[in-house]
Amino acid sequence: MKNKRGCRTKKWFILAAGLAVIGLILAAVVIKKPATPLPSEPPPLSWTDALVRNLKLNLLVIKSIEVISPRQIEVSLANGPLVIFNSRQDQKRQLDSLQFILARSKMESKQIAKIDLRFDKPVIVYD
């Protein structure tokens, strides 16, 4: 369609609007986040060092320590259970829970195979 001056305005407007929409769609596709999560970094060495230091302060002897994932650290205690820590949670709270669980199992004369401290309520597996 031509206006009073003989210019084709409506068609150009529709074409420009269509290109803008296509540009927005392409931008949304290109900026889309990757489907697979990026690998996380391992827990800070200071967190693991502090864990070892605090376990020794609580008179717990470590047989082995293994970083399973950035969040999961497994500690095998000498003459004791396997303990799983979450490096993204408060270490003091986890150590307090561990001390309470070990003291209670000693009073009840129960052998613990594994203590999982990654959750709000620790998971205890008995022998």
Task: In whole angstroms, give the CA distance from residue 22 to residue 20.
Answer: 5
The whole-model pTM stands at: 0.65
- Sign of torsion over alpha carbons 127, 110, 74, 63: negative
* Of residues 58, 114, 37, 49, the one with CA closest to residue 87: 49
pLDDT attached to residue 46: 84
- Sign of torsion over alpha carbons 57, 116, 72, 118: negative
pLDDT attached to residue 38: 55
Token digits of residue 16: 């420009």
Residue-level pLDDT, tens digit, the chain, 127 residues? 555 666 555 554 555 555 555 655 555 555 555 555 555 666 677 888 999 999 999 888 999 999 998 899 999 999 889 999 999 999 999 999 999 999 999 999 999 999 999 999 999 999 8
pLDDT attached to residue 8: 55
pLDDT attached to residue 83: 96
